[in-house]
């Protein structure tokens, strides 16, 4: 942007090329350790935890997660509207992130409660539903304002892209680390090294601290720089659906849904796939997937500032689809090392689009602000967070019922399993697991690739929007998001602002 917003009340305006200091960039980015790690812990382990440790039948276990998502359909968009309408000396987003971070450990304590010894399956199911409702509510209080803040920590488009790639690098690192730790915990439990109680303490105390502390620091030391309207208009609940009026948002939503469901399906079924189908090392399988995702972050950091983001989004999809289909039908009798290489190729083509979507997200919010006259980033983020959590629920539901209908043999609860020697699965269950991997990748990622070719916000268009927002913000009365009524300075600009196309 050609204008400069103050980094904090009373501070001098920062140049557009570097509004954020290095410490602020890293502390803000580290907050997404929760966004990546929490999704990984649930996708990798939660269904297995419910079926093989808590002892709920797989179809019923998957259904409990879907039930809780009915609340999410209301909770996330409303949280977005609430944050958009918040006004405080600390800004619109940061107070919610700070409060939600404090609630994460107790919410995780309920989510992973060791209730496997309960005799009533009905009681287990209702406890899981209620615990998951609590968890998703607290997660919404954190994720929706944090996603909104990612569009507002800087008003310079290129700096914003770099910051978002950095935070998604943290998210990917957290995904990798949490995936590895979760699989170590699973193996230790199956080998009888850890008890259920010890696994429980590691989950809620260890992961709860790991997720909450970076969020507290991000809320304390980050700043909101996008200017906001001085006065909040009368609440109109139609604002919940206002993001759908923006064409670029609708397109980006499709680009988000497809890889989100794909990666959640793959990670949800991975522990069953590796354990029963190819009989490989789950730690190497998931570790390779995660590390390949981390390795591509520096490359993405360079590409998103030089190329159209939609081009970066789709570049590796074809290779990943081919690799994942080969993985899906890989024989247990073949050597294991090629499957790890194929997994790395697949990871790049599935994870890169997920990272790119959140780098593209602030552009959509800019487009929405230009068209609607208000920056309702919370409403946009609320729908995005809803889509992400719904994707996880859909994946858990599908995998749970595929296992149920294909004749998956559930081990007796409480009996640790050593390796894969204790239990054999029928061929129908093996085929069901393979088809989940193959069909999800081929269908969903093909849609993602096609959709990216029709994405409207090219790099050239974003340069136009950048200039047009300068004019639009100067024409209406705006103030700093942090503090009381600090006007935002709009210095004169010499560049021309082309007319907005339809």
Residue 1 lies in a domain: no
* CATH code assigned at 437: 1.20.1250.20
DSSP states of 271-312: HHIIIIII---HHHHHHHHHHHHHHTHHHHHHHTTTS-HHHH
Number of independent structural domains in the chain? 1
Residue 184 lies in a domain: yes
Q: What Å distances lie between residue 30 and 143, 171, 219, 288, 454, CA to CA?
A: 13, 8, 11, 22, 32
Residue 484 lies in a domain: no
pLDDT in tens, the chain (502 residues): 333 333 444 343 333 457 888 899 999 999 999 988 887 788 777 888 888 888 888 888 888 877 777 787 788 888 888 888 888 888 889 999 999 999 999 999 999 988 888 888 899 999 999 998 999 899 989 999 999 999 889 888 888 888 988 888 898 888 878 877 877 887 787 778 888 888 888 888 888 899 999 999 999 999 988 877 766 666 666 777 788 899 999 999 999 989 988 888 887 788 788 878 888 777 777 778 777 877 787 888 788 878 899 999 999 999 999 999 999 999 888 888 898 899 888 888 888 898 889 889 999 999 998 888 888 888 888 888 888 777 777 777 888 888 889 988 876 644 444 444 546 888 999 999 999 989 888 999 999 999 999 999 988 898 888 888 878 877 776 677 776 444 444 444 333 334 444 3
412, two tokens: 């007796």
Q: Which domain holds residue 428?
A: 24-224+245-479
Residue 232 lies in a domain: no
235, two tokens: 């609440």
First-to-last C-alpha distance (Å) of the chain: 22
Phi-psi region of 307 (alpha: psi -120 to 50; beta: other; left: phi over 0): beta
Residue with tokens 């206002």: 242
Residue 190 lies in a domain: yes
Residue 107 lies in a domain: yes
Residue 389 lies in a domain: yes
CB within 8 Å of 122: residues ≥ 6 apart: none
Residue 99 lies in a domain: yes
């Amino acid at each position: 942007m050609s204008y400069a917003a103050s980094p904090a009340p009373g501070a001098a305006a920062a140049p557009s090329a570097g509004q954020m200091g290095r410490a602020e960039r890293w502390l803000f980015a580290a907050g997404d350790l929760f966004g990546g790690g929490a999704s990984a812990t649930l996708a990798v382990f939660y269904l297995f935890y419910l079926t093989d440790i808590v002892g709920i039948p797989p179809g019923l276990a998957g259904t409990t997660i879907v039930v809780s998502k009915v609340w999410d359909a209301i909770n996330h968009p409303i949280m977005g509207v609430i944050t958009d309408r918040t006004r405080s000396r600390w800004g619109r987003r940061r107070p919610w992130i700070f409060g939600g971070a404090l609630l994460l450990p107790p919410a995780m304590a309920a989510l992973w409660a060791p209730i496997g010894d309960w005799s009533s399956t009905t009681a287990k199911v209702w406890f899981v539903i209620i615990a998951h409702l609590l968890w998703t509510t607290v997660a919404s209080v954190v994720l929706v304002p944090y996603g909104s803040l990612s569009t507002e920590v800087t008003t310079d488009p290129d700096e914003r892209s770099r910051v978002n790639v950095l935070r998604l690098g943290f998210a990917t690192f957290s995904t990798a680390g949490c995936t590895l730790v979760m699989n170590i915990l699973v193996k230790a439990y199956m080998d009888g090294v850890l008890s259920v109680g010890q696994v429980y303490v590691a989950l809620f105390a260890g992961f709860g601290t790991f997720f909450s502390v970076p969020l507290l620091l991000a809320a304390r030391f980050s700043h909101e720089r996008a200017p906001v309207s001085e006065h909040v208009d009368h609440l109109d609940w139609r604002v919940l659906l206002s993001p759908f009026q923006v064409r670029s948002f609708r397109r980006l939503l499709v680009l988000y849904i497809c890889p989100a469901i794909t990666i959640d399906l793959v990670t949800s079924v991975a522990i069953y796939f590796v354990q029963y189908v190819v009989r490989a090392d789950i730690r190497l399988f998931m570790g390779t997937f995660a590390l390949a995702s981390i390795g591509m972050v520096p490359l993405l950091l360079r590409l998103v500032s030089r190329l159209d983001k939609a081009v970066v989004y789709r570049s590796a999809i074809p290779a990943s689809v081919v690799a994942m289909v080969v993985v899906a039908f890989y024989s247990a009798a073949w050597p294991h090392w090629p499957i790890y290489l194929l997994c790395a190729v697949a990871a790049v083509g599935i994870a890169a689009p997920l990272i790119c979507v959140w780098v593209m997200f602030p552009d959509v919010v800019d487009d929405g602000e230009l068209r609607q006259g208000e920056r309702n980033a919370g409403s946009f983020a609320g729908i995005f967070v809803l889509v992400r959590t719904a994707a996880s629920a859909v994946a858990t539901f599908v995998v749970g019922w595929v296992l149920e209908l294909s004749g998956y043999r559930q081990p007796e609860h409480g009996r640790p399993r050593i390796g894969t020697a204790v239990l054999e699965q029928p061929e129908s269950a093996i085929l069901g697991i393979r088809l989940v991997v193959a069909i999800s990748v081929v269908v969903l990622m093909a849609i993602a690739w096609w959709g990216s070719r029709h994405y409207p916000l090219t790099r050239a268009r974003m340069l136009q929007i950048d200039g047009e927002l300068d004019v639009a913000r100067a024409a209406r009365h705006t103030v700093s998001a942090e503090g009381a009524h600090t006007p935002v300075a709009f210095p004169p600009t010499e560049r021309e602002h082309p007319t907005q196309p339809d």
